[in-house]
Amino acid sequence: MINKVVKNATEAVQDIPNNATLMLGGFGLCGIPENCISALVELGVKGLTCISNNAGVDDFGIGLMLKTRQVKKMISSYVGENAEFERQLLSGELEVDLIPQGSLAERVRAGGAGIPAFFTPAGYGTEVAEGKETREFEGKMYLLESWLRADFSLVKAWKGDTAGNLIYKGTARNFNPMMATAGKITVAEVEELVPAGELDPNQIHTPGIYVQRIFQGEGYEKRIEQRTVTP
């Protein structure tokens, strides 16, 4: 088996250049590549285009990279919960492209699957459809959406092996599996890294072919945005 293991996040992201296009997995703060984000802040790389469903909060997730002005453009479906984001957007420092969540997920999936474009009903008749080709299929209108691909995809999984196979946990799966397929270089950080052969091949969510670098992450904070409990 090809060994994909790198030492840590610093080594995994060291060659990400200024103005790169990145995909970052996660929904809210759930399943985000915490270690890679910290390493990017340390690296100080600038002018990034970040494709991610959300933009973190002020002091966590992608919010940390916004604070250090490393992000030029966000491609997301929902960007609330972040005051610094709002300030940069209103002042024109930050560009934002808002995409319906299902179209975002499918555009990333298409990018990894070699499908340059597809028709979806989401956004037909709204401002999302402006400038896009539309077509009728069996009496219903659809609009053409194109694939998304990235220079680097940064994903977070629960378990991984040295061959790059990944297993996610709970709803921390979200955008990670598609993003893993759509990066020229995909970096996976995992809570538990095991030798090839220890994970059951029947249970693999992301096959190792999509992953170029994998490392054992550390110090996961796994912050919760809305802690709701039953008394």
Partner 1 sequence: MLDKIGIAKRIAQEIRDGYYINLGIGIPTLVANYIPDNLNIVLQSENGLLGIGPFPKEQDVDADLINAGKQTISMLNGSSLFSSAESFAMIRGGHVDLTILGAMEVSENGDIANWKIPGKMVKGMGGAMDLVASADNIIVAMQHKSRSGASKLLKECTLPITGINCVNKIVTDMAVLDVLSEGGFKLLERAPGVSVQEIKDSTEGTLIVEGEIPEMKID
Which of 46, 60, 121, 207 contacts partner 1 by CB under 8 A?
121
CB of 170 to partner 1, least distance (A): 4
Q: Which lies closer to partner 1 via its Cβ, residue 70 or residue 76? A: 76
Measure the CA–CA gap between 117 and 110, rounded to whole angstroms. Answer: 7
Contact between 188 and 222 (Cβ < 8 Å): no
Number of residues that bind partner 1 (CB under 8 A): 53
Among positions 2-41, residues that touch partner 1 (CB under 8 A) are: 27-31
Does residue number 60 form part of the binding site for partner 1 (CB under 8 A)?
no
Q: What are phi and psi of 118, to 5 degrees?
A: -155, 160
Among positions 158-177, residues that touch partner 1 (CB under 8 A) are: 158, 168-177
Q: Which lies closer to partner 1 via its Cβ, residue 70 or residue 174? A: 174
- Give the Cβ contact number of residue 71 at 10 Å: 26
- Give the Cβ contact number of residue 221 at 10 Å: 11
Which range, of 4-12, 62-70, 82-90, 196-204, touches partner 1 by CB under 8 A?
82-90
Does residue number 131 form part of the binding site for partner 1 (CB under 8 A)?
no
CB of 158 to partner 1, least distance (A): 8
Pairing of strands 150-161, 166-167: antiparallel
CA dihedral sign of residues 86, 90, 94, 100: positive
Which range, of 8-16, 38-46, 93-101, 145-153, touches partner 1 by CB under 8 A?
93-101
Which of 35, 103, 165, 212 contacts partner 1 by CB under 8 A?
103
Does residue number 122 form part of the binding site for partner 1 (CB under 8 A)?
yes
R_g of the chain, CA atoms, integer Å: 18
H helix intervals, 50-187: 63-67, 83-90, 101-113, 176-181
Which of 5, 41, 43, 89 contacts partner 1 by CB under 8 A?
89
Residues 6+ apart with CB under 8 A from 160: 166, 167, 188, 190, 192, 193, 194, 199, 211, 214
Residues that bind partner 1 (CB under 8 A): 27-31, 53, 76-80, 86, 89-90, 98, 100-103, 105-106, 108-109, 120-128, 158, 168-178, 222-230
